[in-house]
Amino acid sequence: MEFWTDISHPSASDAGPGSKDQPTKTINAALKLAGPGDTVNVAPGIYRETVTPPKSGAEGKPITIRSAIPHAAIVRGSEILQETPLAPGRHVLVLPPALIAARNPFAMRLDGSRIGGTLGQVFIGDQMMREVNGEALQPGTWAALENGTKIEIHVSSDSTPGQVEVTLRDRLFAPLNRGMGYFNVEGFVFERCANQSAAAFWEVQRRQCGAVGFRAGHHIRFAGNVVRYAKTIGIDSGIGGGAERGDGIIPHDNLIEDNHLCDNGEVGACGQRSKRTVVRNNIVERNSCLSLATVEEGGLKFHEFIDGVIEGNIIRDNEAAGIWLDAVWTGARVSRNFVVNNVGCGIFIELGADKATVDHNIVAYTRLGDGIYSHDANDVLIAHNLVFGNAHFGIYMRYVTDRPFPHKDGVERPAGCSKNQLLNNLFIDNYRGHICLPAVAERSSGNLSEHNHFINGTQWQWEGLGFHRFCLGDNDGNLPRAVLDKQLTDAGVTPDSNSGNAYLKLEEWQKLGFDRHSFAPGAFRITSENGAVVKGTTTLAARDTYFELRLSKEAVSPVVPTPTECPRDYFGNLRGPNSAPGPFATLGEGQNRFDVNPRISKPQGS
């Protein structure tokens, strides 16, 4: 059956049958009528409620909740405080007791944030105002006053006039009970949510509470939606909440696809403990926008992401890591993502073992950090990626703690940095160097870098940096310099006089045994276009998502063996037993150009 919700319909009533002619006024009223296999169609409008399905669907008969026109049905966690637009300048507004009686986010402290603040948000029209302390009030900001019973707003002179709204609800979608399943949620905008941070979520009194929450559910397909302007978490897809965490319910087989997760204060999507979660074909951008520094920030951040897949996403402009897998990720795969202009690292693999695969990603322009970064992780395969123009290393791996964690065999062992493989990647112009791996030691052994293609592009003459730099790491000071020096000397490499990490040329790196077959053509010459000196012969456009690489005959890499775990290239084409390093199966002499939007990618020539 099909049911209808239309807040603007003259005959709408929650007591009605939910037909197209007599729709319900709220989504929840229609959901009370729906059962397995039914669809709830939601007409355009703003729905100020938390959508809470009371019943599960069934295998082969999910309950579908759909915006009748994509993105025209808006589920909003805010209420109107004042309809009359405010003039530029400072204004103090009272939060009416009736408005905040059930829950007052403006009186609740934001956990784990270095900047403090409350759970509340203030919007003027479509503009999200930024919370500050009262004494720091500037145009475009607001502050809570008198234990959250009032707010002060500083309206900018260039603001577009609009009504004032304040967030009250901490959820916009969440099934009524934990462990429910078989839902399709399609085409909505979920926005403006007063939820708590994920900081210290593992403590029994804390929760991971997203604007959209799956509540440890299963077989939930969340597709084609927009999730934005959550105070902290956009989506939580893990076990979620507080004291309920110990009930033994494990979420599984959930799908997050074709969504736009943007402008959420802490993280676009996260979750602790799940099986077979798939996150694909989403745009994840401008998250961690409040710079809370809660250690749970990122575009995507998952813990205990068992047999999960993150594939084909555009992940850009987040003010923290683009993708972060933390604390056990057995069998996880991160593949075919376009990860650009994030802060700290593009992809972060932390604390785990038992095979994670990071393949065929484009990781570029990381600010203040590395392209692919890993610590306290064993048995990670990093293969066929393009690692381009990152501020620090292309790939940086180390161990920094001895935290024990359960391995696949059930035994707890300390963290390390061993048995990692860096195969068939294409490195271009990473500022600090291509690769840093730790010196061989008790908890860092068996690491391998093979069949990579290193292109440094060109350097500015005043930078004084050498081409093709590699680093033998000291594990954040855990290894004395004497250990590094002995390894270098035994390999026939003369140690330098600097303390800390040892920087090496490719031939020195290969003497250490990390690498035998990687390829590094001579440095590309500086070229001139219209009288301006440019760096290198490659282009990666972050917005138009295309990649160009001009190769001379001498700079074309030999073909490399394809790992069995990575049979298809960035575009989904079979590689065959031998193909080019990097995410594209072929790279030939002359001009190579590819459309690299992973959501619609098709090669344009090679």
Which tens digit of pLDDT belongs to each residue from 221-265?
Answer: 999 999 999 999 999 999 997 778 889 999 999 999 999 999 999
Burial of 114 (0-12, 13-18, 19+ CB in 10 A): exposed
At 463, is the pLDDT very low, low, confident or very high (cuts 50, 70, 90)?
low
Instruction: Determine the residue type at 126.
Output: D
Give the whole-angstrom CA distance, residue 298 versus residue 343.
9
Q: Which residues of 531-559 are buried (b: 16+ CB within 10 A; e: fewer)?
A: eeeeebbbebebeebebebbbeeebbbeb
Residue 405: closest CA among 444, 356, 351, 445: 351
Please tell me the distance from the alpha carbon of residue 202 to that of residue 222, in angstroms, as a whole number. Answer: 25
pLDDT at 166: 98
Distance CA 383, CA 372 (A): 11
HSE of 97, CA atoms in CB hemisphere, 13 A = 0
| First-to-last C-alpha distance (Å) of the chain | 51
Q: What is the pLDDT of residue 505?
A: 87
pLDDT in tens, 172-194: 999 999 999 999 999 999 999 99
**pLDDT over 90 percentage in the chain:** 78
pLDDT class for 526, splitting at 50, 70, 90? very low
Handedness of CA 144, 109, 262, 372 (dihedral sign): positive
The amino acid that residue 550 corresponds to is R
Cα dihedral value 267, 273, 278, 282, nearest 10:
0
- Dig out the tokens for 528 from the structure: 């001139």
Rounded CA-CA distance 546/593 in Å is 7
Residue type, 341: N
As given in the structure block, the two tokens for residue 588 are 């030939």
pLDDT tens column, 333-377? 999 999 999 999 999 999 999 999 999 999 999 999 999 999 999
Give the amino acid at 23: P
Residue where the block lists tokens 């900001």: 141
- Strand segments, DSSP code E, in 265-322 are 267-275, 278-280, 283-285, 298-306, 309-311, 314-316
Asked if the model's pLDDT at residue 460 lies above 90, the reply is no
The C-alpha torsion from 196 through 198 and 200 to 202, rounded to 10°, is 110
At 604 the pLDDT is 45
**Res 214 pLDDT > 90:** yes
Q: Name the residue type at position 502.
A: A
What the chain holds in terms of domains, given with CATH numbers, is: 2-60 (3.30.1910), 78-167 (2.60.40.1180), 527-595 (no CATH)
Q: For residue 444, what is the DSSP state?
A: B
CB 306 within 8 A of CB 333: no
Amino acid at 11: S
Tokens of 212: 């959209």
Strand pairing partners for 7?
none
pLDDT digits (tens, 9 = 90+) for 293-314: 888 999 999 999 999 999 999 9
CB atoms within 10 A of CB 595: 17
Give the dihedral of Cα atoms 42, 45, 46, 47; nearest 10 deg: -30
- CA torsion angle 493 494 499 500 (round to 10): 0
Q: Is 485 helix (H, G, I), strand (E, B) or coil?
A: helix
CA dist., res. 166 & res. 168, Å (int): 7
> Measuring CA to CA, which residue among 405, 409, 399, 456 is closest to residue 431?
456
Residue 466's pLDDT band, with cuts at 50, 70 and 90, is low
Rounded to an integer, the average pLDDT of 428-445 is: 92
Between CA 446 and CA 110 the distance in angstroms is 43
Q: What distance in Å separates the CA atoms of residue 294 and residue 116, rounded to the nearest whole number? A: 10
Half-sphere exposure of 498 (CA within 13 A, CB side): 9
What CA–CA distance (Å, rounded) separates 413 from 563? 28
Indicate the SS3 state at residue 98.
helix
Q: Is the pLDDT of residue 530 over 90?
A: no
CA–CA distance, 320 with 342 (Å, rounded to integer):
6
Number of residues that make up the chain: 606
DSSP letter assigned to residue 603: B
> What string of DSSP letters covers 538-560?
EEEETTTTEEEEEE-GGGSPPPE
Residue type, 474: D
Q: Which two tokens stand for residue 239?
A: 């076990």
Strand, coil or helix: 157? coil
Q: Which helix (H) or strand (E) holds 126?
A: none
The pLDDT value recorded for residue 601 is 62
Alpha-carbon distance of 229 to 87, in angstroms, equals 24
pLDDT the model gives residue 469: 84
Overall average pLDDT of the 517-543 stretch: 66
Number of helical H runs and strand E runs in the chain: 4, 53
Specify the amino acid at residue 339. Answer: V
Tokens representing residue 194 in the block: 């007063």
| Dist CA 341 CA 347 (whole Å) | 11
Query: Residue 225 has what pLDDT?
Result: 98
438: left (phi over 0), alpha (psi -120 to 50) or beta: beta
Residues 422 and 462 sit within 8 Å (Cβ to Cβ): no
Please report the DSSP string for 386-412 in residue order. Answer: EEES-SSEEEEEE-----EEE-TTS-E
Alpha helices (H) along 53-116? 97-100
* Residue 606 pLDDT: 34
CB 463 within 8 A of CB 431: no
